[in-house]
A and B are shown apart, each in its own frame.
Chain A
Amino acid sequence: EVQLVESGGGLVKPGGSLRLSCAASGFTFSSYSMNWVRQAPGKGLEWVSSISSSSSYIYYADSVKGRFTISRDNAKNSLYLQMNSLRAEDTAVYYCASDGDYSPFDYWGQGTLVTVSS
């Protein structure tokens, strides 16, 4: 059974940093691209970042470029999102999602809440 479990969310002050993790199991993690998607309270889905299976290709939304860094450790079946210079508008539930063989974002974690507030 495929499982994606996010962790690392919490309350942080504006300008602070946080590192999210996503532990994957039940599939060959090293073969698939991975993604972060966020959802602000009461709002829609916003794509944040994607990383290819071997980390060769990395993409960011303009809203986080230069502040967030996506990475992965295939030996540990883990995906990460380092978030720096956090702003109030970064407050959201952050989901990790895996690509499928032919489809995008076919498995999702349960999400982790990040709250940026003083």
Chain B
Amino acid sequence: DIQMTQSPSTLSASVGDRVTITCRASQSISSWLAWYQQKPGKAPKLLIYKASSLESGVPSRFSGSGSGTEFTLTISSLQPDDFATYYCQQYNSYPCAFGQGTKVEIK
């Protein structure tokens, strides 16, 4: 099974900061990676699929990059609405594992 590891687990940042979250796969998943945002008490929301494709309606300050085993989610200028937990997920093969999550907190 493919394991997904995110870093950091928690990130403290200020409005306007550039934020980067890393996700590593235990073996190559090509570009079959998605990123989700989840706020407390709410369902996750798809942000990025196929490593770098922006889901419709998602602000352009979100971007994804990487392939193989190393991936990043970047928020170019953090907004108040972006404080949330972010998860990566591989869908190259089953079981389609999620990372453990990265909580973005207000500094």
Chain B residue contacts of A26, Cβ below 8 A: none
Q: How many residues of B contact A (CB 8 A)?
A: 23
Tell me which of A12-20, A77-85, A102-110 binds B.
A102-110
CB pair A105 B55 closer than 8 Å: no
From A104, which residue of chain B is reached at the shortest CB distance? B91
Check A104/B34 contact, CB under 8 A, given A45-B44, A47-B96, A110-B43: yes
A105, A108, A111 pick with most chain B CB within 10 angstroms: A105
The interface residues of chain B, by DSSP majority, are classed as: loop
* Most A-side CB within 10 Å, residue of B43, B53, B99: B43
Query: In the complex the two chains form, is B101's CB within 8 Å of A105's CB?
Result: no
From 41 to 75 in chain B, residues with beta carbon under 8 angstroms from any chain A beta carbon are 43-46, 49-50, 53, 55
CB-CB under 8 A from A50, the residues of chain B are 94, 96
18 A/B residue pairs, CB under 8 Å, sorted by A: A44-B99, A45-B38, A45-B101, A47-B89, A47-B95, A47-B98, A61-B95, A62-B1, A95-B44, A100-B49, A102-B53, A103-B34, A103-B49, A104-B91, A104-B96, A108-B43, A108-B44, A111-B43
Q: Chain B residues in contact with chain A, CB under 8 A?
A: 1, 34, 36, 38, 43-46, 49-50, 53, 55, 87, 89, 91, 94-101
